[in-house]
Amino acid sequence: MINVTKTYLPNKEKYKKYIDEIYENGWLTNNGPLVQRLEKRLAEYLGVKNIILVSNGTVALEIAYRTLDIKGFAITTPFSFVATTSSLVTNNILPIFADIDQNSFNLDPKNIEKLITPNTSAIVPVHVFGNACEVEEIEQIANKHNLKVIYDAAHAFDVQYKDKSLLNYGDISTLSFHSTKLFHSIEGGALIINDDKLVQKARYLINFGIKNAEEIPHLGTNAKMNEFEAAMGLCVLDDIEEIKAKRKTILETYQSKLKGLVQFQEKKEKATENYSYFPVVFKSEEELLKVQKALNEKQIFPRRYFYPSLDTLDYIEPKQECKISRDISKRILCLPIYAELEKDIQIQIVKIIKENI
Ligand SMILES: *Cc1c(COP(=O)(O)O)cnc(C)c1O
């Protein structure tokens, strides 16, 4: 069975050495030595100042909102994984959807300003499939209206924009290290915080709001990464360049063989690729369903990322409608891409697509 992705498993002996270390020191969680080591290595590798590791990417978003005291309304994109929106709703923040650009699939800054009201306190864009958002325009709008910006950067691990980490934009960026992501720690995530003054607060928030044995100044939660997860992260990080190189070859093969037949995502200039996803847009939902069915018959399972468009979620009131996001959602499919995807299977995928469009 071929899925949209396959979790990368590093060398087992190497992972076992870390497990031995954990057994020797008996430190399983609560900001242990491996979590600290992974934080240091990631800060260096990604080129960011402050990084805090947490238990997953969803809770990273929630901690970001709480660190910045986001209340009322947040303008966000309907074209994302559901956690971008659900994390807002669970924190009593109403998502206000701004439609996307039909070529980049990212929140279109043109649609933001008209949605701002006195209740708006934040913008929550997503670098969809690792494609850098219009970060400068978003920054301008945010500064003009005194809004915070939280980037859901779950797909944007190691993306550079104008030669520096994309994660340095916004007040906070969040990452997901779920097993299905480019870089993973089984489950996991991170916050990248630009203002040094907020780092300590976020660290309290991930540990129940506790400051010390006597003081609990914040309403916190439990969002800690454990040592077994950090060990996995350390192993995967050793291999990340090799993983990216293999994915690059796969992405380029798809691009050359499918050019002109399906719509590709338009990438932002001066930003690097991380080869995390390969989305293609078909002419119609009908065409997509036909291709999907043909692939499924050969045990190949691409994913309808992102479907449905989040402005159609039942639990969001008042009802909103983003036409472009709904349209792209119905026609987009993410093709299998991962380090060990075999060439002949990729050729078969391309052939099946060509036969069904
Ligand atoms: C995966 C993902 C998340 C959630 O991350 P988890 O680590 O699975 O909680 C949030 N936003 C986006 C865009 C994602 O792709």
Please tell me the distance from the alpha carbon of residue 38 to that of residue 224, in angstroms, as a whole number. Answer: 13
pLDDT at 214: 97
**Which ligand 1 atom is the nearest neighbour of the CA of 84?**
11
**Which ligand 1 atom is the nearest neighbour of the CA of 177?**
7
Check if the beta carbon of residue 6 is closer than 8 Å to that of residue 341: yes
Looking only at the bridges linking them, the beta strands covering 2-3 and 300-301 are: parallel
Structure confidence at residue 302 as a pLDDT band (50, 70, 90):
very high
Please tell me the distance from the alpha carbon of residue 313 to that of residue 316, in angstroms, as a whole number. Answer: 6
Place of tokens 């709008």: 141
- CA–centroid distance, 187 to ligand 1, in Å, is 10
What average pLDDT does this structure show over 150-159?
Answer: 98
Question: Which residues lie closer than 8 Å to 52 by C-beta, 6 or more apart?
Answer: 39, 63, 190, 191, 193, 199, 202, 203, 206
For ligand 1, pick from 4, 54, 56, 58 the residue to mutate: most ligand atoms within 8 Å of CB: 58
Domain 240-355 = CATH 3.90.1150.10: yes
N-term to C-term CA, the chain = 23
Looking only at the bridges linking them, the beta strands covering 160-161 and 148-152 are: unpaired
Q: What is the mean pLDDT of the chain?
A: 98
pLDDT at 357: 94
What average pLDDT does this structure show over 76-88?
Answer: 98
For 16-56, the pLDDT digits (tens) are 999 999 999 999 999 999 999 999 999 999 999 999 999 99
- Give yes or no on whether 2-234 and 240-355 have one common fold: no
Element (H, E) at 290: helix 285-297
- CA–centroid distance, 206 to ligand 1, in Å, is 17
What average pLDDT does this structure show over 205-212?
Answer: 97
- CA–centroid distance, 81 to ligand 1, in Å, is 6
Which residues have C-beta atoms less than 6 Å from ligand 1? 56-58, 80-81, 83-84, 126, 152, 154-155, 176, 178, 189
Please tell me the distance from the alpha carbon of residue 336 to that of residue 349, in angstroms, as a whole number. Answer: 9
Q: Where are the beta strands (DSSP E) in 65-143?
A: 73-76, 94-97, 120-124
For ligand 1, pick from 152, 159, 175, 232 the residue to mutate: most ligand atoms within 8 Å of CB: 152
What average pLDDT does this structure show over 300-309?
Answer: 97
Share of the chain above pLDDT 70, in %: 100
pLDDT at 18: 98
Report the b/e string of 322-351 with b at 16+ CB within 10 A.
Answer: bebbbbbbbbbbbbbbbbebeeeebeebbe
- CA–centroid distance, 181 to ligand 1, in Å, is 9
3-state DSSP call for residue 281?
strand
For ligand 1, pick from 88, 175, 178 the residue to mutate: most ligand atoms within 8 Å of CB: 178
Architecture of domain 2-234: 3-Layer(aba) Sandwich (3.40)
Please tell me the distance from the alpha carbon of residue 236 to that of residue 18, in angstroms, as a whole number. Answer: 13
What average pLDDT does this structure show over 300-324?
Answer: 97
Element (H, E) at 300: strand 300-301
pLDDT at 349: 98
Kindly tell me the number of DSSP H helices and DSSP E strands found in the chain.
10, 13
pLDDT at 160: 98
Torsion of CA 174, 180, 184, 186, to 10 degrees: 110
* Nearest-CA residue for atom 2 of ligand 1: 154
What average pLDDT does this structure show over 151-157?
Answer: 98
Place of tokens 């159609």: 312
Structure confidence at residue 289 as a pLDDT band (50, 70, 90):
very high
pLDDT at 140: 98
Best CA proximity match to 180, nearest among 313, 56, 39: 56
Sequence ranges of the domains in the chain:
2-234, 240-355
pLDDT at 22: 98
Report in angstroms the alpha-carbon separations of 335 from 28, 241, 291, 301, 338. Answer: 37, 21, 11, 8, 10
For 228-265, the pLDDT digits (tens) are 999 999 999 999 999 999 999 999 999 999 999 999 99
Which amino acid, residue 117? T
Best CA proximity match to 88, nearest among 111, 109, 101, 72: 72
pLDDT at 242: 98
Q: Is the peptide bond before 118 cis (omega within 30 degrees of 0)?
A: no
- CA–centroid distance, 35 to ligand 1, in Å, is 20
What average pLDDT does this structure show over 149-171?
Answer: 98
